[in-house]
Homo-oligomer: A and B are copies of this chain.
Amino acid sequence: MADDRRLDVLRAIVEDYVSTNEPVGSKSLVERHSLGVSPATVRNDMAALEDEGYITQPHTSAGRVPTDKGYRLFVDRLSSVKPLSPPERKAIESFLRGAVDLDDVVRRTVRLLAQLTQQVAVVQYPSLTRSRVRHIELVHISDTRLLVVLITDTGRVEQRTVDLPGAIAEDDVADLRARLNNRIAGHPLADAAALLTDVPDAVDLRSRANVVAVVSTVLETLVEQREERVVLAGTANLARTTPLDFPGTIRPVLEALEEHVVLLRLFGEVTDAQTVHVSIGEENVHEGLWTASVVSTGYGATDQPLAGLGVLGPTRMDYPGMMGAVRAVARYVGQILAEG
C-alpha cells in the first residue's frame, strides 16, 4: 500500500505540474489532493521517487518536476486515455465532413488537431505503398513527353512527367495505358513492381524503350520514399510555451519540424490504428526533439493503417487529453476516407 501511495503521489505531481507549470512541493500537493497523509510523509515518498529517477528538482530547494521516466510511468500505468466530450466529437465530425477531396481532408485534419490540442499537429498523407491503384492515366503532352498520373483508392493523385527516348503515337499511348491498368488496377502499390516487370516484353521492340521509361517512372513514383508527405499546423503553439518547457530556445524543435524526414520517422512505428503511441523526451530518436513529446497513432482501416498522425509539444503536456484527441481524430479521418 505504501507503494500504491507512492504512485498516487507521482500521479498527483504530474497532474499538478502539467496544469500549473510550476515545480510542485509537498505542502501544496496535500492541499490540492486528498492523499490522507501529512506533507512529511509525502516528502519521504518524494525522496524515494527521486531516488528511482521518476522526479527531480530543478534546484536544491524547489519543488519536484517529473522526469521523462516519470512521465513514462504516468502514461503507462497511472492514466488512461481521456475520451472527448460529445460536443467535441460533434465538432470534429461536422468539420471533417465538409472536405471536398483528399487534400482538403488532410488540411482540415491537421488544423483541427492543432486547434483541439493547442499543440503542433502533424498528419502524414495516406501512404502510397499501402494503398491500391485505382487508375493510371497517361497524357500525351508532346511527341516525346508523357504525363503519368496515378490515382489511388484513397483519392491520392500523384503525377510525373516522363521524357521518352523516342516519339510515341497516340494509339501506342492508349495501348500502354490499357496494359498498365489491366495489370495493376485494384492491386496494392506494394505489388506493383512485381506485376509490371514483364510489361515491356509484351510490346514490340520498336516502342520497348519508351515503355521501359514509362514503367520505371511509375515505379519511381510508387516506390520512392520522397513522395511520402506530411503536413503541419499549429507551429505558433510552440511560442506559447514557457522557457521552462524548452530550455533556451524552441529553435531545434522548429528545425526538426522542417525536416519532414524526421517527422516521417515519427510514424515509422505506427503499425495499427488502435493503439496510441507516445514518445517522451529523450525517447525520441532525433536530438532536436529531446525536449519534446510526440503522441501519435495510425489512421485508415483498423488492421492496416494508411498513415500516421499526431501532435508534438513539450514533455510537460496533458497526455491523457492529447491521446484522446489524437485517437478520436484518427478514427473520424479513417471513417471519412473509408466512405469517400
Contacts and interface: CB of A to CB of B under 8 A. Distances in A.
A239 B233 contact: no
A54 to B, nearest CB: 31
A141 B340 CA distance: 13
Nearest to A160: B101
A240 interface: yes
Contact of A234 (B135, B239, B258): B258
A238 B137 CA distance: 43
Interface stretch (A60-68, A202-210, A248-256, A292-300): A248-256
A195 interface: no
Contact of A233 (B141, B149, B235, B258): B258
B137 A151 contact: no
A134 interface: yes
B137 A139 contact: yes
Nearest to A136: B139
Contacts of A100: 160
A134 B142 CA distance: 10
A151 B138 CA distance: 12
A213 interface: no
Interface string A147-184: 10101000101011100000000000000000000000
Interface residues of A, number: 29
Nearest to A138: B137
A157 B151 contact: no
Given A100-B160, A135-B147, A251 B258 contact: no
A236 interface: yes
A137 B160 contact: no
Interface string A26-69: 00000000000000000000000000000000000000000000
Contact of A137 (B101, B137, B233, B236): B137
A149 B137 contact: yes
Interface string A204-229: 00000000000000000000000000
B161 A101 contact: yes
Contacts of A234: 258
Contacts of A149: 137, 139, 149, 157, 159
Contact of A236 (B101, B134, B239, B258): B258
Contacts of A157: 147, 149, 157, 159
A257 B258 CA distance: 14
Given A149-B137, A157-B147, A235 B249 contact: no
A272 B63 CA distance: 61
A314 to B, nearest CB: 15
Contacts of A233: 258
A135 B140 CA distance: 9
| 5 pairs of A and B residues whose beta carbons are closest in the complex | A236-B254, A239-B251, A236-B255, A157-B159, A137-B139
Given A137-B139, A149-B157, 16 more contacts: A101-B161, A134-B141, A135-B139, A135-B141, A135-B147, A137-B149, A141-B151, A147-B151, A157-B157, A157-B159, A233-B258, A235-B235, A235-B258, A236-B251, A236-B257, A236-B258
